[in-house]
Amino acid sequence: MNRIVYLNGQWLPEAEAKVSIFDRGYVFGDAIYEVTAVTQGKLLDYPGHVARFHRSIGEVGIVCPVSDEELLAAHREIVTRNSLDEGLIYLQLSRGPADRDFHFPKAPVPTLSMFTQAKKFIDDDAHVRDGVSVITLPDLRWGRRDIKTVQLLYPSMAKMEAEKQGAYDAWLYQDGYITEATSSSAHIVTRDGVLVTRPLSHAILPGITRGSILSLAREAGIPVEERMFTVDEAKAAAEAIVTSATQLVQPVVKIDGQPIGDGKPGPLTKRLRKIYIDYHLAHLI
């Protein structure tokens, strides 16, 4: 790969972008990130991502060194510099380098970095056409999953366990209720056609795609319930769905080996995917 990346105001070939080994993002996982999808060389739902970025950094007390205008300009410039047609922009802000100390440094110099990754996600691929399978695992992440930190070891371990068991991903549960997937929001559709998703709390990330899907579904007259649902309810559902910035709306057709509905991507999943894509392709920035 020969990307141009952003590091603290500089544009650099990726091999030349260097961050200190004392960086608190590296030593403590003391960093916040965002992932924004890009298609047709434009940003998809950027306002949602930047708003969540501000919320996350506010929760952990990291101050962004650039203005919102500069951040948007950098998102646009990284797309241009890398001739990115479709893929994602990864943004990370760490508290920066400091001597190793659990206390935050008194005068932090945060590290702001961005890179792109090419990925196709608008056209239906095999995952969208056939659906994916998930296993369920206990949610052993920390108690502030609403903050988008780079502490992703448990989600990585859960994905590896899913892969070991021949599944695409894992849905996580706590006290018998589904929280979310390892890197996406989890939803079900009841046999009465109600889209059910867990309400926001410290237990889940406020998914930007989740928020958009809920409002687009409501606008389309699709019944929506924000409530907890159990692993058993998910297995008995008519449809199961995951949403995220780069998976958009993806059908889940098997949970712990049990087919969901008729074991094929369901009609509401397909409809929501189409509604989501149509809306956002008309609102790229």
Instruction: Using CB under 6 A, list all residues that contact ligand PDD.
Output: 35, 180, 183-185, 205, 207-210, 243-246
115 contacts 84 by C-beta, under 8 angstroms: no
The maximal CA–CA distance of the chain, rounded, in angstroms, is: 58
Angle at which helices 46-60 and 68-81 cross, to 10°? 120
Angle at 159 between CA 163 and CA 121, to 5 degrees: 90
Considering 148, 159, 235, 264, which one is annotated as catalytic?
Answer: 148
Minimum CB–partner distance for residue 176 and ligand PDD (Å): 19
Minimum CB–partner distance for residue 148 and ligand PDD (Å): 7
> Which tokens go with 248?
């958009």
Residues with Cβ < 8 Å from 106, sequence gap 6 or more?
none
* The amino acid at 21: I
How far from each other are the two terminal CA atoms of the chain, in whole angstroms?
26
Residues with Cβ < 8 Å from 122, sequence gap 6 or more?
39, 86, 248, 277, 281
* DSSP per-residue letters across 1-38: ---EEEETTEEEEGGG----TTBHHHHH--EEEEEEEE
Residues with Cβ < 8 Å from 168, sequence gap 6 or more?
127, 132, 133, 134, 162
Q: Annotated catalytic, 274?
A: no
What is the C-alpha separation between 208 and 214, in angstroms, rounded?
10
Note the helical H segments in 134-227.
153-164, 208-219
The residues carrying an active-site annotation are 148
